Structure 1
Amino acid sequence: MFTERSGLIVWFSDLKAATKQLERYGSVHFISKRLHYAALYIHASKLEETVKQLQKLPFVKKVERSYRNEIKTEYSSNMPDKTRFYTL
């Protein structure tokens, strides 16, 4: 049902050009005006060719891959729950 997506962090120098042109390559999740980066989600099958196209843009400084989908999100607790000791 859901397509496999990969996240990219795109560092740029021109905010106006980035907001207009990055939407062509995938869905823009967040743009930081102060730190000049954008979080972008693209199809995982087109990851390599999209990175190459983004690096060719004149306003792009650096493109980094996000490892968010590779981080384990299921946690197991081997220690007992201590919240009952701290309640009023």
Structure 2
Amino acid sequence: MFAERTGYIVWFSDTKAARGLDKYGTLHYVSRKMQYAVLYMNADVAEEAVKNLQKLPYVRKIERSYRNEIKTEYEKDTQDKARFYNL
């Protein structure tokens, strides 16, 4: 149904040139101060796109985002103590 998506953090040296990153995937966020961008792309073309991104002169480093692997289902191990403090 939906294609598997992968996120990458792209560190760059030129903010103006970083606007061209959207042709490699969906540009989600760009930080001008820290000079990085969050880029999402389909997992099946991600490996080839990363190789092409590394060839760009303004790209310093590319890191894979581990957001998909973080546990988002939480369990409540302790009782809710807030109800005991109500008057």
Query: TM (normalized to structure 1)?
Result: 0.91
Moved over 4 A (4+): none
Query: TM (normalized to structure 2)?
Result: 0.92
Counterpart of 1:67 in structure 2 is: 66
Counterpart of 1:45 in structure 2 is: 44
Q: What are the ranges of 5 or more consecutive residues in structure 2 without an aligned counterpart?
A: none
How far 1:8 sits from its partner (Å)? 0.3
Q: What is the CA–CA distance in structure 2 between the aligned matches of 1:65 and 1:84, rounded to whole Å?
A: 42
Counterpart of 2:18 in structure 1 is: 18
1:4-47 Cα distance to aligned partner (Å, 9 max, x none): 1010000000000001x101000000000100000000001112
Cα 1:5–1:82, aligned 2, differ >3 Å: closer, same or farther? same
Identity of aligned residues (%): 61
Q: What are the ranges of 5 or more consecutive residues in structure 1 without an aligned counterpart?
A: none
1:34-85 Cα distance to aligned partner (Å, 9 max, x none): 0000000000111211111111100000000000001110011111112223
Q: Which amino acid aligns with 2:61?
A: K
Q: What is the CA–CA distance in structure 2 between the aligned matches of 1:23 and 1:16, rounded to whole Å?
A: 13
